[in-house]
């Protein structure tokens, strides 16, 4: 029984490490929008027009079609079911670029 509990603890620990590595290397659509769309456009997440601004920004950053992004759902739960690493990497890249611009006093643009 001790061996089973030890193995479960090891799996839980490995899972936590993988989640942290994932979080450090990627930015989810929801996290990206919460950080940048609100900051740049002035839309709060509960304001009218926020979702559209978010979709436009995700289209700009990822190159995906509006219909594809809208299919992910309002909270992006359908994207989270099967996340694309290339989309997550693009969002991380855009997040880093925006952070550098912000650090230099340059306002990141939403198109």
User: Does some domain include residue 38?
Assistant: yes
By percentage, how much of the chain surpasses pLDDT 90? 51
Q: How would residue 18 be classed by pLDDT, with cut points 50, 70 and 90?
A: very low
Domain of residue 91: give its range.
26-103
Q: Of 68, 67, 106, nearest to 86 (Cα)?
A: 68
Render the burial of 70-107: b for 16+ CB within 10 Å, e for the rest. eebeeebeebeeeeeeebbebbbebbeebeeeeeeeee
Cα angle 58, 52, 23; round to 5: 35
- Report the domain count for the chain: 1
User: Does some domain include residue 8?
Assistant: no
User: Does some domain include residue 109?
Assistant: no
Phi, psi (deg, nearest 5) at residue 48: -65, 135
For 22-64, write each residue's pLDDT tens digit: 556 789 999 999 999 988 888 888 889 999 999 999 999 999 9
Mean pLDDT over 2-29 rounds to 61
Taking the CA atoms of 43, 52, 56 and 68 in sequence, report the sign of the dihedral they define.
positive
């Amino acid at each position: 029984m001790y061996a089973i509990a030890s193995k479960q603890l090891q799996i839980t620990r490995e899972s936590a490490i993988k989640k942290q590595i994932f979080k450090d290397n990627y930015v989810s659509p929801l996290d990206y929008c919460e950080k940048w769309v609100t900051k740049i456009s002035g839309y709060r997440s509960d304001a009218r027009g926020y979702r559209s601004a978010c979709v436009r920004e995700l289209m700009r950053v990822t190159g995906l079609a509006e219909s594809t992004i809208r299919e992910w759902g309002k909270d992006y739960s359908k994207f989270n079911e099967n996340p694309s690493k290339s989309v997550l990497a693009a969002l991380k890249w855009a997040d880093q670029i925006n952070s550098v611009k912000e650090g230099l006093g340059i306002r990141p643009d939403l198109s």
